[in-house]
Each structure stands twice: as structure tokens, then as C-alpha cells.
């Protein structure tokens, strides 16, 4: 990962005051600033240093007035396009699957650890830039010279303080970084050793990627091939045959034009498939069980796709953080897939649009009861998708009541909704929009499960605008 390494205690800037504080210095308290600088050098700011970033953030109000308290969200004003999303986890296991997915896609992750054995968490920030087995390779910004900051997390002093070698317990918080990354074309591997399978494999998906490594990232993409392209398998039958069609397994191949690399074994078959639909064609709409499992997006900018493929042509829609989606798969499959890299979930949103999303970027809200009985009770929208108003609202408190009538009574209670539950109005969009946040106003709504009723308008807010299709995480 081509980022520059810095130390907060470098003599060039360690004595500089941090932010607007009169006594705190970069050397003493600049670990987050320095970690942000390292990441920013990847996101089109190669000449940045901690001293320069400190000055630029001060010029845009990137520190709280009179203090050294840094506001990470302001980094986008200094490094256009760079974004940071914080996740606290001092009381729960760190989101290692998400960390791994970001590192695999070439995005460094700023991790928070405890630097003192005293009670409580004394925060220190470092940059995780690579995964090594079950461990992480990290740039610690405190030591100088910078070579002394190259550490493995599980053998560091922070592991001793945490009393564990498990990164899930050592890490107390995470800043996921995102932005535009210059991609260096990968070097094609030489995999042809003269050993071949007796069978060929065929691309079972459009734009099948041949990669230089068994990692899904822009930096490993060699070339894409259309459905039914025939590939020569560069392994003997004994090992190759069992791999075809298996999830998270890779197969070394040679394409018809001579390109050698790895293909996803779960996206190839031993026989040609039927004609593939045109790129961007939505999947067939299926009945949505009323009590199907529900998940919620855990990142901003998650893409709904027509199929499990990360090309732009498959993007149907982009969701903001916290969007609720109904799963079109059994609860057992949802439990198996959620949080697992390179797994995909078939879903339907509150407006009825269906597709697939990356399962490693969602969290389970409820598992419901997906089965023959539930499917028989499938809820259909009261009007077509094209006629649904685009207004989507969210509840602003826990246990908001959904009522059969716009009246507060135990006899009108249908169910209670969690904070952030997404709802669409059943009526004219303009009339509903005027009631959002207004005391004494009620709005008739439908949730993602198909429940219909009235919700107090003063307990609703409009959902954040959907991100553009070019922002947010890459989901494969």
C-alpha cells in the first residue's frame, strides 16, 4: 500500500502546537493527525506532512476553538474526496471483517488502541496497512525514526496492555478511510508450469475478472471477460475439479488471449451457461415474505446491484448509512453471510426495489421467519414501484408506535418501531412531507416488512439523501 510513513515526534514538527491549543504539541498529542496524514498521502495528497495538515485544518476550522481536539470530518476540506467513518468498539469486538475488506481493497484503516495500563481507555491512533495471517501490520506514528514504528499489532505493547493477542480485543475504535486512489497496473503472474486440467472452465457471469492475486481489489484486476469465455485450467484435475463452483476459492487459468491469473471459482462452470441478461438488467422481482429477515447498511454508499459484480453497469441504487433492507433468503443463509467477505445477499428495499448487496457491509436487525408459511403471507406494495413516492422517513426515537388510527391508545397500537426504522408514506408525498417533525401531525406509512399504520409526524425525520453512485465503499 503506497502511503508515506511519518512520526509525530519527528524533530521537524514535534514542537509545533497542535490545533488551537497553546500548550499541546504534535509530538505529544498528534497521533491522529499523523495517522490521517499517512492515509492522505494515498488519497492524492502525496506531499502532505503532519505540520502542513495541522496548518490547513486550522484554516478551515478543523479543530474545536481554543483546543487541540481534531474533527476528522473536516479532512475532506483539505484533501478533496477523502472521507473518514468512525466506529467505536471498546465495549465489543472490533469489526475485523470490515477492516479486512478495506485493506484488501487498498484502503488503510486508522485503528484506536489503549496506550496505558491505567483504568479506562487512553486513546492512541495508528495506521493498519496490511493483514498478515490473523495479525495486522501497523505504522505506529509515535516512534522516531519511522522504521521503529513498523509493528505487528499482536506482539506490540498495546497487545500487552489489552491482555490479549486477538486484534478484536486490542482495537478499541476504527476510522475507515475512503477516497480516490491511484491504481498501479498489476504485474501478470506466470502460472503456466505445464500442468493442466483435462477440462476447461467457462465464465458464468458477465465481465468475469482475471486477477493477479486472490484478492478482490482494483489493484489486482488484469482483465475482464464476457460470459461463456473459455479458460484453460492451470492445475491438475486432482485439485482443480473440486474447486469449480466453490465460494471463496480461486482457480489459476489462462484466457484465450494468453492472460494468466486467478478467477473466482464460484463464478465459473464446466459447461457454458444460457444467454446472460444485458448488463444492468435488474433481477426478476420475487414475492417478499412479510416476516423476512431485515438487515441494515453499516456504511454510507452501499450499492444495490443487479448481480454480484462490482462493475459500474450493475449498480441499481446507492443507499445511505442505516438503510433497512428485507432479505429474500432464508434466515440461516442471512446468519451465515452477514459480515463475511465476498458473500452477497438478495434484498428488497422499502420502496420494493430488489437486487443484491455486499453482505459484509450490513448488520442484522431481525431474522424473522422465512419459510413456506411466511412466503404465503408475502406482502405486495399497495401500488406499483413507479408510483411510490420517493420520500423515505426514519423514526427519531426508540419504540415509536405504529397505530391503526391517528390516536394514542393501547387499542390502536399495532407494533413498536426501533429508532431509525425506515418508512414510506401511503398517500401524497407533498402532504406527508409537510407533517414531518410537526407536533400533532400524523402520517400513514408502510415499513419494510409491509406493516401499515399511522406514526406521529413529530417522531419522524426525512432519510438522508442517497449518496451518488461514485461514492461509498467498493463492495467487491
Q: Report residue 468's pLDDT band, with 50, 70 and 90 as the boundaries.
A: low
0.75 exceeded by the pTM? no
- Domains observed in the chain: 26-178 (3.90.70.10), 200-269 (2.30.30.40), 294-386 (2.30.30.40), 391-462 (2.30.30.40)
Reply yes or no on whether the pLDDT at 354 is more than 60.
yes
Distance CA 425, CA 416 (A): 17
317-338 residue pLDDT tens: 888 888 889 898 888 888 888 8
Average pLDDT, the chain: 83
Q: Report residue 284's pLDDT band, with 50, 70 and 90 as the boundaries.
A: low
Average pLDDT of 445-464? 85
pLDDT at 283: 53
Contacts 24+ apart (CB under 8 A), 435-442: 436/393, 436/460, 436/461, 436/462, 437/461, 442/406
Reply yes or no on whether the pLDDT at 93 is more than 60.
yes
Contacts 24+ apart (CB under 8 A), 309-313: 309/205, 309/206, 309/207, 309/476, 310/216, 310/474, 310/475, 310/476, 311/206, 311/207, 311/224, 311/279, 312/469, 313/207, 313/279, 313/280
C-alpha of 270 from chain center: 33
**Greater confidence, 120 or 242?**
242
Amino acid at each position: 500500500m503506497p502511503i508515506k510513513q511519518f512520526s509525530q515526534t519527528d524533530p521537524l514538527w514535534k514542537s509545533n502546537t497542535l490545533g488551537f491549543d497553546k500548550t499541546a504539541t504534535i509530538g505529544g498529542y498528534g497521533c491522529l493527525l499523523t495517522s490521517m496524514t499517512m492515509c492522505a498521502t494515498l488519497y492524492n495528497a502525496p506531499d502532505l506532512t503532519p505540520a502542513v495538515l495541522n496548518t490547513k485544518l486550522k484554516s478551515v476550522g478543523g479543530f474545536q476553538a481554543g483546543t487541540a481536539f481534531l474533527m476528522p470530518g473536516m479532512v475532506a476540506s483539505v484533501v478533496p474526496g477523502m472521507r473518514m467513518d468512525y466506529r467505536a468498539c471498546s465495549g465489543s469486538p472490533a469489526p475485523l471483517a470490515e477492516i479486512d475488506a478495506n485493506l484488501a481493497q487498498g484502503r488503510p484503516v486508522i485503528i484506536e488502541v489503549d496506550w496505558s495500563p491505567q483504568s479506562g481507555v487512553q486513546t492512541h491512533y495508528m495506521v493498519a496497512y496490511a493483514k498478515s495471517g490473523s495479525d495486522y501490520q501497523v505504522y505506529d506514528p509515535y516512534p522516531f525514526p519511522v522504521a521503529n514504528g513498523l509493528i505487528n499489532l499482536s506482539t506490540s505493547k498495546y497487545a500487552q496492555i489489552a491482555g490479549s493477542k486477538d486484534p478484536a480485543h486490542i482495537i478499541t475504535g476504527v476510522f475507515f478511510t475512503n477516497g480516490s486512489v491511484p491504481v498501479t497496473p498489476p504485474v501478470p503472474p506466470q502460472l503456466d508450469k505445464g500442468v493442466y486440467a483435462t477440462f476447461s472452465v467457462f465464465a458464468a457471469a458477465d465481465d468475469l475478472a482475471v486477477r493477479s492475486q486472490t484478492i478482490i481489489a482494483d489493484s489486482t484486476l488484469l482483465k475482464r471477460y464476457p460470459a461463456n469465455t473459455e479458460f484453460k485450467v492451470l492445475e491438475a484435475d486432482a485439485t482443480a475439479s473440486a474447486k469449480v463452483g466453490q465460494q471463496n476459492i480461486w482457480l489459476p487459468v489462462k484466457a484465450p488471449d494468453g492472460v494468466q491469473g486467478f478467477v473466482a471459482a464460484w463464478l465459473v462452470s464446466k459447461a457454458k451457461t444460457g444467454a446472460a441478461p444485458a448488463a444492468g438488467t435488474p433481477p426478476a422481482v420475487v414475492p417478499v415474505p412479510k416476516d423476512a429477515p431485515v438487515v441494515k447498511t453499516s456504511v454510507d454508499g452501499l450499492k444495490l446491484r443487479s448481480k454480484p459484480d462490482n462493475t459500474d453497469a450493475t449498480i441499481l441504487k446507492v443507499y445511505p448509512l442505516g438503510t433497512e433492507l428485507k432479505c429474500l433468503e432464508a434466515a440461516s443463509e442471512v446468519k451465515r453471510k452477514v459480515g463475511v467477505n465476498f458473500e452477497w445477499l438478495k434484498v428488497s428495499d422499502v420502496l420494493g426495489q430488489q437486487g443484491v448487496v455486499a453482505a459484509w457491509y450490513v448488520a442484522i436487525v431481525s431474522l424473522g421467519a422465512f419459510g413456506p408459511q411466511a412466503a404465503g403471507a408475502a406482502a405486495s406494495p399497495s401500488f406499483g414501484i413507479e408510483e411510490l413516492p420517493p420520500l423515505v422517513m426514519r423514526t427519531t426515537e426508540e419504540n415509536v408506535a405504529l397505530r391503526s388510527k391517528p390516536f394514542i391508545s393501547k387499542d390502536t397500537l399495532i407494533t413498536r418501531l426501533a429508532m431509525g426504522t425506515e418508512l414510506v408514506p401511503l398517500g401524497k408525498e407533498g402532504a406527508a412531507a409537510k407533517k414531518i417533525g410537526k407536533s400533532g401531525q400524523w402520517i400513514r406509512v408502510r415499513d419494510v416488512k409491509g406493516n401499515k399504520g399511522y406514526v406521529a409526524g413529530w417522531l419522524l425525520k426525512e432519510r438522508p439523501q442517497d449518496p451518488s453512485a461514485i461514492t461509498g465503499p467498493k463492495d467487491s
